[in-house]
Amino acid sequence: MKEKILVTATEMFLNLGFKSVTMDDLASEMGISKKTIYAHYENKTQLVEESTMRLFWIISNGIDQISALKKNPIEELYDIKKFVMLHLKDEKSSPQYQLQKYYPKIFNTLKQKQFEVMQVCVVDNVRRGIEQGIYRENLNVDFVSRIYFSGVTSIKDYRLFPVQMFPMTVLQDIFLEYHLRGIVTPKGRKVLNSIINSNQE
């Protein structure tokens, strides 16, 4: 039952937002009493924390599996973006912004963990891209990986990027193309253009 509550809560948080979902909503959605939820979770904060960490590990493991395939580094970034967006339900409810506003402690812990995972993944991606001649060889790898992380997290601030102007799926594509065009070689540009063209078909 504990796992079931966690799965349903995660789903609801992603679709409706961390703030909007109450314990009553969750109980009603599952057809159980609030007492049953409290038997497993002390309060909503604990539920939010466990649900964000569960999602974080699912996404991290998925990213590891994609990275292990050692695909073309440009293709790899598109595959990771697709996988993450699928698990975050296209971020319709701006979960990161709500987490930051209402659960700052959980948000900061999560951000640190995300940075550690992405740092390893992006540094490896950039190094392989340089070796394969699709990323410029004069890149500062640590700078590129950090600026990428900074961009990925900043575009989720809907005060800067209002959803009406920038739906999250479109925004992710714009950002990834922007990032890659700054680091690719002419050889890499051909790969990037062919991926963009095939995504538009």
For residue 48, the tally of other CB atoms under 10 A from its CB is 23
Residue 91 lies in a domain: yes
Residue 125 has pLDDT above 70, yes or no: yes
* CATH number for the domain harbouring residue 144: 1.10.357.10
Residue 22 lies in a domain: no
User: What total of structural domains would you count in the chain?
Assistant: 1
Q: What is the pTM of this model?
A: 0.87
Residue 165 lies in a domain: yes
Choose between 25 and 90: higher pLDDT: 25
pLDDT in tens, 92-123: 657 777 888 899 999 999 999 999 998 999 99
Percent of the chain with pLDDT over 70: 96
Residue 191 lies in a domain: yes
Give the per-residue pLDDT at 168: 82
Residue 41 lies in a domain: no
Percent of the chain with pLDDT over 90: 71
By residue count, the chain amounts to 201
- Phi–psi pair at 184, nearest 5 degrees: -80, 155
For residue 160, the tally of other CB atoms under 10 A from its CB is 9
Domain of residue 131: give its range.
56-200
